[in-house]
Structure 1
Amino acid sequence: MPIDGELNDDLILFNKNITAAQNLAINAAKIALNNFEWRYVTMVFHNSSILLGLTAFMQIYRKSVIVGKGTFLHGKESSADRISQFVIFGSDLVDIMCTLDWMRKREFDNTGKFIVICNNCDERKAMDIFWNHKILNVVFINDSSGTSSIIGFTYSIYDNQKCEISPPEPLLDSCIHNSCMGVYPLKLRNLHKCQIIVSTFEQVPFMSLKTGTPIGADGDLLLLIAEALNATLKVMTPHRGAGWGQLDKDGNWLGSLADVYHDLANFSMTSAAITLTRFKAFHLSTDYHSINMAWVTHPAIPLPGWQKLLRPFQMKARISLAVTFVLIILVAVFVKSNLWAKLSKRINTSARPQTCVLFYSWTICMGMPATSLPSKPTFLTMFLLWMFYCFMIRTFYQTSLIHAMKDNLNYPEFENLQDILNSGYPFGGVPALKDFYIDDPEVYNNWKSINSTEINDMMVSLSRGMKYVLAMNKVTAQSFILKHYGDIHIVPQMIVTSPTVLYFKKFSPMVQSLNLILDRLVEGGFTEKLYKNHASTHARKKTDSTAPMNFEQYMGCYVVLAAGWIVSILVFICEVYCYKFSV
């Protein structure tokens, strides 16, 4: 409810002889009381020539204020970006413009609420000054001809198809001499087909510009925003550099964010992750989705064919089998020793077996028929147990071997950042993502920076086996797998999950109206639907389970066969040589 405007009686220093400056201040205080938020601090600028007007304002507006005289030294501790309500007392337009220039240099929030008091100033020139400083929410209080004709003015932006600011619009007389609310409406809600410029670049599946019209998750959303603003959309690609945008070695912005920073575009829409550097340098919209940044590397390396022969056995089974065959070798050595010859005389058996124990045990293990059996019941029992043991092992092994030979078995893949570091692979990505590892010297100091234009070529090289780990957008990598049928490995551990926002220049007047549109689109489910249509996170390469078996899958069998032939030939040569030597 508006506060009563009859506040003049509260003045202590003044009675009926109120000067023009005091009257201007009184009316400014009425507007401030009804339209400023009392929980926020108000900054008041003045000069010594209008001290009485300032005193009148302070006696009526009894809320938290910071009073500054002229362009005082503003330190970082004052937190200029937290102040969003301003009252400026100016003696003339030159004085006001100097104050606004100083505020812009000190990065005060030009999107806040302003009350500017000037005695006998040209309101049309004043509105041009406000627009040049991107101050939209302003009430200009002017006394053009004495104390009896105080008028308040504001202006509209893009109120017609000429795409210019409107002439000064007088406030209602009740807002000046009494009280009213709502003198700071949300502006830039209808651009009347005026142009907005958006900086972006080709980034499938978020943005595609091949047809001249933005297509993709961000592209379709951008068209909805332009329609909601009733604006003519113009899309531009980065004029300097490429990609999302980062600082070069000289501290200058490159890429899409450079277009915003240098006032070439109204905002940037690139689905860029929020980093500390970007957060400090730009104004962010409300978030409308999220993105995952991940590590990407080459596909898993297949196991050699010979290793597949051991695949049916786990490590414990391999160790137990190895111990079993070692025992057989020890037995074969034992029966050839003198100790066995002495022992065999005591148990009344032959000193030496008729066949080679080691060779005969191996033939039974391979499933070949037994040509002879031991005559002693004890040895026969041991023989039958060995035969049964080999039969069971061979059956289980052959059952699992066919699947092991056909399956595409690979070396272990990277699961997290520690696996990447242990591998010794070089790694990197766009320079902005390096900021996420500023507290990890091992990653930060060894980061290899690449340009965003190189990402697609890098993914192609990775799919062909390049030993490198690339930091990039996870959805873009999944889109590459789906579209190009490339096979790259996405490390499960994410780098970061970042909100998706629009990037504006600091204190851009378009932020508030764009936030309102984005909030409605998010609440209506439009953004979720667009990302589901264009940037689905379930893209995977389809494998053909009915593919025929190839030669490589049985390479291990041929390796064993060739090794057996080589060993056989070597043994044959040794036997022939030993026979000639003995003769």
Structure 2
Amino acid sequence: MPEPPDSRQLNSLTDASSNKVTKYFLVHAKDTVEAERFLLDQRLGKEQNIAVIIRQTNQNSTYWRVLIRQLLHPSGSTKVFSVNKWSSGMGLANTNDIFPDQMANFYRTKLIGSTLRYKPFTDYEIVEGSRIVIPKPSIDISILDAIAYKLNFTYDIVMPADGEWGALKDDGHWTGVMGDVEFGQANFSLSLVIMQERVNSMDLTEMYFMDALSFITSKSPLSAPWQKLITPFQLKVWVCVLVSVCGGVLLYHVFYHFQATISSFHLLDSHASMRILASFLSQSLYQYLWLPAGRVFLGFWFLYAFLVTTHYKTSLTSTLAVPFFPPPLDTLEQLLGSNLKFGVTELKGNLV
């Protein structure tokens, strides 16, 4: 730029919506005062790649100075200094980078980190009457110590005033740890779960730990002893057996009714019911139907009673020997298909 941008241009250039694009500012200023005014503009607070060139003349020659600003400084404020100069006869005075990495050295700047206790990732000792806490050995604190040593900064860890990890409010602002970072009360946070809403609002590091989630359900209690008598068959099987018994009693009574027209022996309804039920208890009949159709009916009925009772006794034996537990839920589809009520607990703004 041939001169520092005006207010309208600067607002457009520093638009936060374009923060994914790396921007470089190379501006010409008429003197050192104008250069410093531009470099220290508050709207450029988050921009790293800014340089201003000014023309200066002395008794012997004319040269160009390159000024940049150092965002992090031991004094706690941004400082402007000369990084290079150029003249037509000498060229560049040194090989210093015009746009140095501002995040490579924090010059012992103290940063504030906001977090909550979340063992084994973060742990600390609370100081009575203060938001500042004393970090204790934990995973994220160890990582933070290594980063602080590499980048040359110190830090304090504080607790959020509302004791929450961070939930998005209706007005678009965050609570808890996220709110501390959003409103500048903290420079960073620790141990946050990556959520789409947070990605849209903050810069998050790469995930280094995958926390496996599982369903938690109460173990089914053992059924009462009397319930085990009906456990071998499902309800629809019991209904089918009951219907078949009623039908067998009716047919048995009908066959004896036809026999009664030839002989003098009559069969009471109660006796017909007892004889049909006796077949399920492996009891023989002391009197048989002599009609051919009746004998065919009894033959199939005894075979049917034998199969039903055998299956019932074997199932009852296995039920008594091995208690039955409902199968576990392994997928979301199984959970949706069950009759269980389910939900997720929100832990102070952090879904875990």
**TM-score for both structures, normalised by structure 2:** 0.69
Q: Which residue of 2 aligns with 1:152?
A: 66
The CA deviation string for residues 253-310 of structure 1, in whole angstroms up to 9 with x for no partner, is 311112212323221122222323x33432333443455678x665366586476555
- Corresponding residue for residue 242 of structure 2: 325
Q: Distance in 2 between matches of 1:268 and 1:391?
A: 72
Contact preservation (8 Å) 1:199, 1:236: yes
**How far apart are the structure 1 equivalents of 2:70 and 2:17?**
29
Deviation at 1:329, TM superposition (A): 1.3
- CA–CA separation in structure 1 for the residues paired with 2:15 and 2:78: 36
Q: Give the secondary structure class of the aligned counterpart of 2:25.
A: strand
What fraction of aligned residue pairs are identical, expressed as a percent?
18
The residue number in structure 2 matching 1:246 is: 167
Instruction: Tell me the alpha carbon deviations over residues 138-161 of structure 1, each in whole angstroms, 9 at most, x when there is no partner.
Output: xxxxx375863543345667788x
| Aligned counterpart, 1:409 | 325
Residues 198 and 234, structure 1, Cα contact 8 Å, conserved in 2: yes
Deviation at 1:87, TM superposition (A): 1.8
Partner of 1:360 in structure 2? 275
Distance 2:301 2:319 in 1: 26
Offset, 1:396: 3.1
Q: 1:331 and 1:396, CA in 2 relative to 1: closer, same or farther beyond 3 A? A: closer
**Deviation of the 1:200 alpha carbon:** 1.3
Paired residue for 2:177?
256
**Structure 1 position 90, deviation (Å):** 3.2
| Equivalent position amino acid for 2:53 in 1 | I
One-letter amino acid of the counterpart of residue 284, structure 1: L
- Match for residue 267 of structure 1 among 188, 191, 197: 188
Distance (Å, rounded) in 2 between the aligned partners of 1:207 and 1:346: 94
Question: In the alignment, what sits opposite 2:143?
Answer: 221
Cα deviation code 1:175-212 (max 9, x no counterpart)? 98248474434344455665433221122454333594
1:84 is displaced (CA, Å) by: 1.0
- 1:144 & 1:237 partners in 2: Cα distance? 54
Matched positions, count:
336
- Counterpart among 281, 287, 290 of residue 201 in structure 2: 281
Q: Hey, what's the Cα distance between the residues in 1 that align with 2:202 and 2:54? A: 33
Amino acid at match of 2:348: N
Equivalent residue, structure 1, for 2:27: 88
Q: Which amino acid aligns with 1:237?
A: M
Structure number with higher helix proportion: 1
Ranges in structure 2 where 5+ consecutive residues have no aligned partner: 127-133
**What amino acid does structure 2 have at the position aligned with 1:117?**
I
The residue type equivalent to 2:65 in the other structure is I
Highest RCO, 1 vs 2 (Cα 8 Å, sep ≥ 6): 1
Q: What's the secondary structure of 1:397's corresponding residue? A: helix
Indicate yes or no: 2:47 matched with 1:110. yes
Cα deviation, 1:559-583, whole Å, max 9, x if unaligned, reads xxxxxxxxxxxxxxxxxxxxxxxxx
Which residue of structure 1 aligns with residue 130 of structure 2? none
Conserved 8 A contact 1:365-1:391:
yes
- When residues 328 and 427 of structure 1 are mapped into structure 2, their CA distance, relative to the original with a 3 A threshold, is closer
CA distance in 2, matches of 1:346, 1:217: 95
Structure 2 partner of 1:134: none
Structure 1 residues 336 and 389: CA distance shift in structure 2, 3 A: closer
Q: Which runs of 5+ in 1 are unaligned?
A: 1-43, 48-67, 120-142, 431-449, 456-471, 474-583
Question: Contact 2:124–2:136 (CA<8 Å) still a contact in 1?
Answer: yes
RMSD after superposition: 4.8
* Aligned equivalents of 1:324, 1:424: Cα separation in 2: 31
Equivalence for 2:312? 397
SS at match of 1:259: helix
- Work out which of the residue numbers 144, 158, 164 in structure 2 matches 1:236: 158
* Change beyond 3 A, Cα 1:91–1:358: farther
> What's the secondary structure of 2:175's corresponding residue?
coil
